[in-house]
Amino acid sequence: MNKMKCCSLVASVCALFFSSAAVAQFGTQPTRIIFPFAAGGSGDAVARLIADRMRTETGQPVVVENRTGAAGRIGVEVVKTASPDGTTLLLTPFTLMVVYPHIYTNMKYNPDSDFVPVSQVASFEFALAVANKVPAKTVAEFVSWLKVHPEQGTYGTPGAGTLPHFFGIALSRAAGLDLKHIGYRGASAAVADLVSGQIPIAVLSTADVLEHHKSGAIRILATLDETQSPYLPDVPTLKASGYDLHGNGWFALYAPAKTPRPIVDQISKIVASYAKSDEFKERLLALGLLSNGTTPDELAAIQKREAKTWEPIIKASGFRPAD
């Protein structure tokens, strides 16, 4: 055997040894999935579904910890400083990775350098909805009506700094409107005011307004995903209505930076496979969510693309939260 072949063989054996050791390490200790908000919401439910599947696949304890505070940043920082061995993971909504870097000046984590993408697991749509007092039945009629009645251009969202907030800004610019934002403390208050006619317009998740639309209490004029909503096959997308604005919310799993790639890949395969299963899809439909399931590289590309898309819109808004 010549020297080059010998070196190649040694390198291959070493790579196999370290890969096997890394994979073996995952599953030998209890795993924590940190969810950076309170229990009870759809994101928390997703985290617990993922934990159950990982527990089944690995035969090891997997628990969900709700680490709240600082609009979710506390939980993210816990994962940032955890050992990069696959035993501490982060299940987070996209805002902490895509939006927060552009609005907070005292961020103690970097989404790109402090974490390793594992898999996008679920997504949710947003909708442009109007109160029944608004006479418009289409987006075109809505824009025309607002140009005649600019004083009615007030829209509610679940809160300042949320993606619905910035969707309203983007639509205002694209349609030549002067929409004024009202940020509520959560979606339920905004929905209540929309249904009662206290506000004429709202941008909320489809799940928040779906039943009210079906009952005729409000009207959804457009959904904001790039593709047609499976919940609302008769409602066009905003893009199909003439405005090339689209995006959705999502939940994704991350690991601390420097977590070995074999461990990341193993977790990703377990999670993505489950996310694509009929069982997971059915469970998520009951929560108003859509199932995904991606590779680490696909999640990294999604995060990079959406951060680039929303950065100029967020910066143009001038929004700065109280840190």
**Domain residue ranges of the chain, discontinuous segments joined by +:** 29-124+248-317, 126-223
pLDDT higher than 90, residue 321: no
pLDDT confidence of residue 148:
97
pLDDT confidence of residue 247:
87
Domain 29-124+248-317 class, CATH top level:
alpha beta
**Which candidate, 288, 289, 290, 295, places its Cα nearest to that of 273?**
295
For residue 174, what are the contacts with CB-CB under 8 A and spacing of at least 6?
Answer: 243, 244, 245
Distance separating alpha carbons of residues 321 and 55, to the nearest angstrom:
38
Distance separating alpha carbons of residues 315 and 320, to the nearest angstrom:
9
In one letter, which amino acid is 108? K
Task: Note whether 247 and 164 are within 8 A (CB).
Answer: no
The token pair that represents 83 in the structure block: 């050992």
In 3-state terms, what secondary structure has residue 15? helix
- Mean pLDDT confidence for 234-257: 94
Mean pLDDT of the residues in the chain = 89
pLDDT higher than 70, residue 14: no
Q: Looking at the DSSP assignment, which residues form a beta bridge with residue 126? A: 205
Q: How many helices (H) and strands (E) does the chain have?
A: 12, 11
Per-residue pLDDT reduced to its tens digit, 85-127: 999 999 999 999 999 999 998 899 999 999 999 999 999 999 9
pLDDT confidence of residue 3:
46
Least confident of 33-37, 39-43, 260-264, 274-278: 39-43
pLDDT higher than 60, residue 150: yes
List Cα–Cα distances, 114 to 98, 110, 195, 256, in angstroms: 14, 5, 42, 6
Distance separating alpha carbons of residues 210 and 129, to the nearest angstrom:
10
- Mean pLDDT confidence for 163-172: 92
- Mean pLDDT confidence for 195-200: 97
pLDDT confidence of residue 323:
66
**Domain 126-223, what fold?**
D-Maltodextrin-Binding Protein; domain 2 (3.40.190)
- Using pLDDT thresholds of 50, 70 and 90, give the confidence band for residue 249: very high
Please tell me if the domain spanning 29-124+248-317 has the same topology as the one spanning 126-223: yes
- Mean pLDDT confidence for 31-46: 92
Q: Looking at the DSSP assignment, which residues form a beta bridge with residue 154? A: 180
The token pair that represents 279 in the structure block: 């069982």
- Using pLDDT thresholds of 50, 70 and 90, give the confidence band for residue 317: confident
Helices (H), the chain: 3-25, 42-58, 73-80, 95-98, 100-103, 139-148, 163-175, 187-196, 206-215, 261-275, 278-285, 296-317
Distance separating alpha carbons of residues 13 and 45, to the nearest angstrom:
42
Per-residue pLDDT reduced to its tens digit, 207-235: 889 999 999 999 999 999 989 998 899 99
> What is the per-residue DSSP string for 187-218?
HHHHHHHHHHTSSSEEEEEHHHHHHHHHHTSE
Q: For a pLDDT cut of 90, what percent of the chain falls above it?
A: 75
Per-residue pLDDT reduced to its tens digit, 256-310: 999 999 999 999 999 999 999 999 999 998 888 999 999 999 999 999 999 998 8
pLDDT confidence of residue 66:
95
pLDDT confidence of residue 185:
81
pLDDT confidence of residue 122:
96
Distance separating alpha carbons of residues 213 and 10, to the nearest angstrom:
65
Query: 290-291 and 115-124: which strand pairing?
Result: antiparallel
